[in-house]
Amino acid sequence: MKIAIIDNAHIVKTKDGKYYSKTIYSYDFFKRYLDSFSAVRFITKVKDLDSNFIDHDKYLRVDGPNVEIYEIPWYRGLKQMVSKIFKIRKAIRHSLDGYDGYVLRLAQVESYLFDLFAKKKNKSYIVELVNDPNLFMDMNFIFRKINVMFTKKIIKKAIGVSYVTEKYLQKKYPSIAHKTDYKKGFTSHYSSINLYNDQISEPKTEFFENEIIKIVHVSNSIESDIKGHSTVINVAKVLREKNIPIRVTFIGSGSQVPLFEKQIEKFNLQQDVKFIGSIADKKILLNKLRESDLMVLPTRLEGLPRVIIEAMAAGLPCISTSIAGIPELLDSNFLFNFNDYEGFAKKIIEMYNHPELMVEQSKLNVDKVKEYENSKLQKRRAEFYNLFKKHLEHTKVIV
């Protein structure tokens, strides 16, 4: 059985035909599907590069044995999408040819376009819901509601639905399946993260080397303020005004970095707040996290954030927002409104003055994150995918 996967992954292709991604979509990511299916076709946007050079510290190789990339024309933003809509429609039209079923990773516009344009020939599909479309706060209100409508419509017709949260998304976007029956429908929950046991650190026992608070923030794609960069910069300003020594490291890259650097310059924080670019290699990223004291993520858009899980695995206390599945990871005492920089700063000062709180949170987070170790998640993924495989085999026999 062969399946297609549809998502918004921003893949780039070198001149020699190799595919790379800055985000989670390495070849290792697709192995979870290959454990159940013979081949995977990844349907996504692709941007051609002018050379064969690629920075392997910032990019992950995507393609490999039994993983094919099916290209959709590259675009960024609604205006470019509309200008290329006929080319996109043509590309999507026959993207399922030769494949038995498909996976829609929601909520992404590519999945909606696929649902509208692809010749599906009554092929069954499953959904992996990885975020809440109602939290796309940088999107026009009307488009956000259309997003929600499409998501509910697609979930309603899916034979199987998996959620990244344990409870939150299930309540907002319920599946009619709620069974474990490959004929009638099935559901599951698991994170998208690949986290192995040897990547989980021991709890940290020492913080604030040289009395400096080392804060880290991670966002792979910095194309807006949806992940709270400006809030973190305001937090740094408040802490500096209170004469608390800080070092803030932003990991990630994108078109909005210069805008945030202007804010840093305006507050005269150039020595204290830095952008260091993207880090694709998980080992390097986890080592960088371990060098820090605290993860601060004032995000407005999530399902269940991988970056918080990774920070927890590195033994870091974390402060974030009370949205989506984040309360399933962190206690409410460490959650604030996304723009409440005074609240974030006050909590950081409390933890700075009471390092025993840092030690306690580190231990709690390391204990909690063990629930997201790959062998445990992969067991649930495999059960879900195998139900889909049995469903495809059953319907193929009937046809």
Asked if the model's pLDDT at residue 4 lies above 70, the reply is yes
Same domain assignment for residues 340 and 221 = yes
Query: How far apart are the C-alpha atoms of 301 and 317, rounded to whole Å?
Result: 20
CA–CA dist 119, 50 (Å, integer):
33
Angle formed at CA 121 by CA 117 and CA 124, multiple of 5 degrees: 95
Average pLDDT over residues 128-137: 86
215 and 255 inside one domain = yes
Percentage of the chain exceeding pLDDT 70: 98
**Number of domains, the chain:** 2
Q: Do 363 and 390 belong together in one domain?
A: no
What is the DSSP annotation of 125-169?
A: EEEEE-B-GGG-TTS-HHHHHHHHHHHHHHHHH-SEEEESSSSHH
Phi, psi dihedrals of residue 221, rounded to the nearest 5°:
-120, 110
Same domain, yes or no: 285 and 229:
yes
Same domain, 169 and 226: no
Domain containing residue 62: CATH number: 3.40.50.2000
Share of the chain above pLDDT 90, in %: 75
> How far, in Å, CA of 207 to CA of 199, rounded?
20
DSSP letter assigned to residue 202: P
**236 and 186 within one domain:** no
Q: Tens of pLDDT along 378-399?
A: 999 999 999 999 999 988 755 4
- C-alpha torsion angle, residues 273, 279, 282, 288 (rounded to 10): -30
pLDDT score of 399: 41
* pLDDT (0 to 100) of residue 328: 94
User: What's the pLDDT score for residue 92?
Assistant: 93
Compute CA 101 distance to the chain's CA centroid, rounded to the nearest angstrom: 24
- Claim to verify: residue 141 and residue 184 sit in the same structural domain: yes
Residue 108: predicted pLDDT: 80
State whether 329 and 380 are in the same domain: no
For residue 178, what pLDDT band results from cuts at 50, 70 and 90? low
Q: pLDDT at residue 190 above 60?
A: yes
- Which position has the higher pLDDT, 78 or 14? 14
Let me know whether 127 and 209 are in one domain.
Answer: no
The residue ranges of DSSP E strands in the chain, in sequence order, are 2-6, 11-13, 19-21, 39-48, 60-61, 67-73, 101-106, 125-129, 160-163, 180-181, 185-189, 213-221, 246-253, 273-275, 294-297, 318-321, 335-336
- 203 and 176 in a single domain? The answer is no
pLDDT in tens, 329-354: 999 999 999 999 999 999 999 999 99
Instruction: Determine contact, residues 89/381, Cβ cutoff 8 Å.
Output: no
- Write out the residue range of the structural domain in which residue 135 sits: 2-195+373-398
Please check whether residues 126 and 29 belong to one and the same domain.
yes
d(CA 265, CA 275): 13
Mean local confidence (pLDDT), 24-40: 93
The Cα 232–Cα 229 span in angstroms is: 5
Q: Which tokens belong to 397?
A: 């026999």
Residue of 11 and 144 predicted with greater confidence? 11
In this prediction, residue 107 has a pLDDT band, given cuts at 50, 70 and 90, of confident
Residues 237 and 330 in one domain: yes
The predicted pLDDT at position 273 comes to 97
Query: Which single residue is written with the structure tokens 């999107």?
Result: 139
Rounded Cα–Cα distance for residues 67 and 146 (Å): 32
Supply the DSSP symbol for 243. Answer: T
Residues sharing a CB contact under 8 Å with residue 69, sequence separation 6 or more, in sequence order? 11, 13, 19, 41, 42, 44, 46, 62, 63
Whether the per-residue pLDDT at 111 is higher than 80: the answer is yes
Residue 256's pLDDT band (cuts 50, 70, 90): very high
The predicted-structure confidence for 274-326, as pLDDT tens digits, reads as follows: 999 989 888 999 999 999 999 999 999 888 999 999 999 999 999 999 999 99
Position 177 pLDDT exceeds 80: no
